[in-house]
Structure 1
Amino acid sequence: MATVELRFSAQPEHVRTARLVAAAVARRAGVDEAVLDEVRLAVGEACSRAVGLHRSHGLTAPVRVVLSEEEKTFSIEVGDEVPGSGGAAAGGAADEEADAEGEDEMGLAVISGLVDDMEVSSSEEGGVIRMSWPAAPPPAAS
């Protein structure tokens, strides 16, 4: 099982890099070429969501992306450090909270439309979106 871990500061301009890295690692893992756009879009949404949560809560901690190749599966975990962020965003004034909640729900809906196997979890340490796709490693060179 090969794993790549990426950490980046919660700045929107780093989301593009995360998308590019995810697509490259997914391709290497054997994810079908036709699915790579979905991988890019899903990672972009998940990373944008994490960046938004970090920024709205004033966190300076990096966003974490873990890309894992397993035998027949490629998975990506995008983690933030906002406690209880697996659901709607918490904190802020009532109007800001409602806006953040709506954006959060929309982002999760977009991701769930792109990924068949998705899991959202949260704890006191933060939230994680785990996504996975089928993969068939390329045949070994002879």
Structure 2
Amino acid sequence: MATVELRFSALPEHVRTARLVAAAVARRAGVDESVLDEVRLAVGEACSRAVGLHHRSGVEEPVRVTLVEQEKRFFIEVGDGVGHESAPDAPAASGDADDSTEDAMGLAVISGLVDDLAVGSDDLGGVIRMSWPVAVHEVAV
């Protein structure tokens, strides 16, 4: 099992880098080429959401992205340092209805791109977990 961890300051300009890294690692893991755009878009949405949550909440910890290659699935976790406010039904940290709508829209976009999606939290904050199947390559003997 190979793991790549990426942490970046909650700045919008770093989201593009996270998308590029995720696509490169997904390709190497064996995710089908036809799905790589979905991986890029889902990671971009999840990271943009985390950046927005950090800004609205005044959180200074970095956004966390973990990419895990397993035998049959490729997993990506995007973590924010906000905590329970990042759960899908929780109000935005600022209490602004526009922020809640934007957060819900981001989650709706991600759910349209990913079949295996979980939104929750861990000890460090909120987490979006996504996974895609990996093409199984048979080795000729």
Structure 2 length as normaliser, TM-score? 0.92
SS of 2:47's partner is: helix
Residue of structure 2 in register with 1:16 after alignment: 16
Q: 1:26 matched to which residue of 2?
A: 26
Aligned 1:1-142 pairs, distance under 5 A: 1-84=1-84, 85-87=86-88, 88-92=90-94, 94=95, 97-122=96-121, 125-136=124-135
- 1:126 is displaced (CA, Å) by 1.2
CA distance in 1 between partners of 2:12 and 2:139 (Å): 38
User: How many angstroms apart in 2 are the aligned matches of 1:89 and 1:8?
Assistant: 25
How far is 1:26 from its partner?
Answer: 0.1
Which secondary structure state, in structure 1, belongs to the residue aligned with residue 83 of structure 2?
coil
8 Å Cα contact 1:89-1:104 kept in structure 2: no
Q: Work out the number of aligned pairs and report it.
A: 139
Runs of 4 or more, structure 1, over 4 Å off, are 137-142
Distance 2:44 2:139 in 1: 31
What is the CA distance between 1:15 and its match in structure 2? 0.1
d(CA) in 1 for partners of 2:122 and 2:66? 18
- CA distance 1:26–1:89, shift in 2 (3 Å): farther
Deviation at residue 67 of structure 1 after TM alignment:
0.2
Amino acid across the alignment from 2:52:
G
Q: Letter of the aligned partner of 1:53 in structure 2?
A: L
CA RMSD of aligned residues (A): 1.8
Q: 1:15 to 1:137 in 2, by over 3 A?
A: farther
Instruction: Report the CA distance between 1:86 and its aligned residue.
Output: 1.9
Conserved in 2, the CA contact under 8 Å of 1:18 and 1:44?
yes
In 2, are the aligned partners of 1:117 and 1:131 still within 8 Å (CA)?
Answer: yes
Aligned-partner SS, 1:59: coil
Letter in 2 for 1:58: G
Distance in 1 separating the partners of 2:92 and 2:54: 11
TM-score, scaled to structure 1? 0.91
Q: Which runs of 5+ in 1 are unaligned?
A: none
